[in-house]
Structure 1
Amino acid sequence: MDNNYTYNKDDYEDLSLRDAQMLMADILKDVHELCEKHGIKYFLDAGTLIGAVRHKGFIPWDDDVDIGMIREEYNKFLKIAKKELPKHLFLQTFETDEYYNVYPTPCKVRYNNTLFLEDGTEENHKMHNGIFIDVFPYDSLPKHNFTYKIQRTLSYNILKSFKRLRDMPEHLSFKNKITFSFYKLVVKMFPNKRRLRFFNYLVKWNDSKSKYMGYGVDTYWSEYVYKKSDYFDLTKLEFEGEYFYAPKNYDAILTRLYGDYMTMPKQEDRVWHAKEMKKLKGL
């Protein structure tokens, strides 16, 4: 299924969670090889990092892969991946896919001729919906905490406006009509290209010499701040029979994110995002 194409469901077959995981692992391998070729530093992130530490592979019920890169490496990756990703993969950003609307995640690498629809999210068949891995930028922090708060308040409210309009309910109360009028104004002020330029401007507020970093200004998560020394120099961890880069002090990072991450959650909390996973027959 190529980008922006509708598809005939009769041509596709359902994937098990494990089959989908293996396709995600293949994407990760290809991204790893591209990064190795060009000296781009990346690291396993979030649930994927837990999976590597606790299971040496996927958390059994997990249905995505997350990696991170500091902003300089991320920008380099975007430039190179546009030209050098294998033909069966698609680099999805707000520049490469005009219909892309997963606003808190600025970059995905998708597997062509596959389908992944998320539960609880309005379907958008115009954008590329292939099985994917997420690529998150990380930014150094500004010199002053006050500057950081302003920076993240601006970026968060812009992203929130786009997401809320995407998921806007059909019937609004009077109060919500006022709120959504504000969202519409923000979205009108910041179409894709202008929004990306504004985020690039906010990135310039950062201090590259800071000892701390967090998720990029083009994501939601301002509450997670880490010591750079906990990440670099990177180590390697096993994940599905291969070795990938991971933060040096992954225990400190995962504890910051999840607390006691080595204890398995209760059965009822073991959920995944997908409501539909398919691939082209014969792929």
Structure 2
Amino acid sequence: MDKVYITDIEHDEIRSGFLVTTDRKKIWNKEIELLLEVDRICKKHNIPYFAIDGTMLGCARHNGFIPWDDDIDVAIMRPDYMRFVEAAAQEIKAPFFVQNIYTDNIIINWTKIMDDRTSAIEDWDGGCFHQGIFVDVFPMDAVADGSKKGFLIDEMSKELWMCVIAPKQIEDGLQNSVTTHVARQTLERILGMPLYERMKVYEDFCVKHFDESSKVAFQMSYWCNRSKPVSKNVFKGITYMDFEGIKVPMPGGYDEFLTEVYGNWRVPVHSPSAHEGVVMSADIPYDVMLRDINRELLQCGDYLWK
């Protein structure tokens, strides 16, 4: 086994009334190993990053993982995030893997740092992209803050992202004379670009206009109403807090962030993991799991049809 960070990893235990199994502890242990790789790169390249969402909540309330959570999320402000992506591509070596739209056959607007020796199976029909245990690294971008400029930036960002993820929808809108915030001729030019160039246009826009709004969020989650925008002032300053025996950077205004997002965050509320249905193993490589389980399913299908 790799270095052990989780206390009593070989035994199940009850935390906050929830059964934490040894398998879950092994997944946590791998995620901490990946987090420390993110931390190493960020410190080497002077890139500020923060625990975010459930990881921030777990750090503040449990000094570690929320017992019913199974992932680690960190956030980096968009200009610094672009430096992180560039640095990670140079720094991270196998068996670790940097997964984003530029490195794998998957369209996402964030980055995952994962271990190819493990499994976090999200797509059983796939095998076309890496599916190891991962740490999410989210860019924080400018979003609507109540001002006209903030609203415009948010809407333009959304249209540019749609050019990446759903170009047909933008094309259909243009054909039907739908009003857009990005100039029609600009959208038509972008739609004619290859995927990676469309993504670069979106990212460059986010960097260029980052300072023109007072609020930030992970855009995709915000646009889907799964997260709330928060003031940039929340992220001024860094305070380090205990997380399963290591120190993790938290925004200086973490209390304000958690109150805005979760309300009375100090009271634990058991809720499903964001990765319900994802099959995770710290011991089985994702390619082996996909191969062997799909083989068994095919054999079972053959039997049922005889």
Q: Superposition pairs for residues 1-283 of structure 1, below 5 Å?
A: 16-97=23-104, 99-101=105-107, 103=108, 105-118=109-122, 123-140=125-142, 144-155=149-160, 157-158=162-163, 161=166, 191-203=194-206, 206-208=209-211, 210-216=213-219, 219-222=220-223, 224-266=228-270, 269-271=271-273, 273=275, 274-280=277-283
3-state secondary structure, aligned to 2:32:
helix
Q: Which has the higher contact order (CA 8 A, sep 6+)?
A: 1
Calculate the aligned-residue CA RMSD, in Å.
Answer: 3.2
After TM superposition, give the deviation of residue 238 of structure 1 in Å: 1.1
| Structure 2 match to 1:5 | none
Could you tell me whether the CA contact under 8 Å between 1:114 and 1:131 is conserved in 2?
A: yes
Q: TM-score w.r.t. structure 1 length?
A: 0.74
Change (3 A) 1:94 1:156: closer
> Which has the larger share of helix?
2
Between the aligned partners of 2:60 and 2:127, the Cα distance in structure 1 is: 35
After TM superposition, give the deviation of residue 182 of structure 1 in Å: 5.2
Change (3 A) 1:198 1:272: closer
After TM superposition, give the deviation of residue 139 of structure 1 in Å: 2.2
CA shift digits 1:130-166 (9 cap, x unpaired): 000111111245871331342244146456638xx9x
Q: 256-265 vs 142-151, which deviates more? A: 142-151
Change (3 A) 1:135 1:31: same
Matched positions, count: 243
Q: TM-score w.r.t. structure 2 length?
A: 0.69
Between the aligned partners of 1:281 and 1:203, the Cα distance in structure 2 is: 38
Identity of aligned residues (%): 25
CA shift digits 1:181-215 (9 cap, x unpaired): 959x99x8675313312313432551526543332
Unmatched segments (≥5 aa) in structure 1: 1-14, 166-178
| Structure 1 match to 2:4 | none
Unmatched segments (≥5 aa) in structure 2: 1-21, 176-186, 286-306
Between the aligned partners of 1:189 and 1:157, the Cα distance in structure 2 is: 14
Could you tell me whether the CA contact under 8 Å between 2:98 and 2:113 is conserved in 1?
A: yes
